[in-house]
């Protein structure tokens, strides 16, 4: 699907910044920090514009947040983030390689259901596994 059609699908206006940020995420196999995006696009867009674009993409479900010990990163939402009834979720595992430092989504690995004590309401679940990725393990 083209960038323009993707933005339209999420009811977002097509802008050059949104296009360029989405292209970065579609081309990346790892989670990106705000700094990663800014580093690649700083000659075209200021820090605030990039931040607002990331925030908007999270709000509509184009990308999702990934927390690791280095801080907040973002990953492109794939089909695994959609349930059959078109609900959005991010209950998959994130993996941080201790050698190369890259964080990626393991979309095929689901987080098991967690039963919380009475009175608690789950909003989101984040599971980060650390180890050595398939590339570094060869």
Tens-digit pLDDT profile for residues 90-133: 567 888 899 998 888 887 887 788 899 999 998 777 788 899 99
- Domain covering 3-131 assigned CATH 3.30.420.40 in the classification: no
**Separation CA 3–CA 119 (nearest Å):** 42
Q: Where residue 2 falls among pLDDT bands split at 50, 70, 90?
A: confident
Closest by Cα among 8, 9, 32 to 21: 32
Residue 8, both tokens: 């339209």
pTM: 0.75
Structure-token match 């095929």, residue found: 108
Report helix, strand or coil for 51: helix
Residues, the chain: 138
Q: Where residue 61 falls among pLDDT bands split at 50, 70, 90?
A: confident
pLDDT (mean) for 64-87: 69
Where are the chain's structural domains? 3-131
């Amino acid at each position: 699907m083209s960038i323009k059609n993707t933005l339209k699908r999420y009811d977002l206006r097509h802008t050059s910044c949104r296009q360029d940020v989405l292209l970065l995420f579609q081309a990346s196999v790892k989670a990106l920090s705000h700094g990663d995006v800014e580093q690649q696009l700083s000659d075209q867009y200021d820090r605030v514009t990039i931040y607002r674009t990331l925030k908007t993409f999270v709000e509509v479900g184009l990308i999702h947040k990934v927390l690791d010990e280095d801080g907040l990163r973002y990953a492109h939402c794939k089909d695994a983030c959609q349930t059959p009834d078109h609900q959005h979720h991010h209950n998959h595992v994130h993996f941080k390689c201790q050698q190369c430092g890259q964080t990626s989504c393991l979309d095929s690995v689901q987080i098991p259901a967690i039963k919380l004590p009475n009175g608690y309401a789950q909003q989101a679940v984040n599971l980060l596994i650390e180890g050595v990725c398939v590339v570094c393990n060869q």
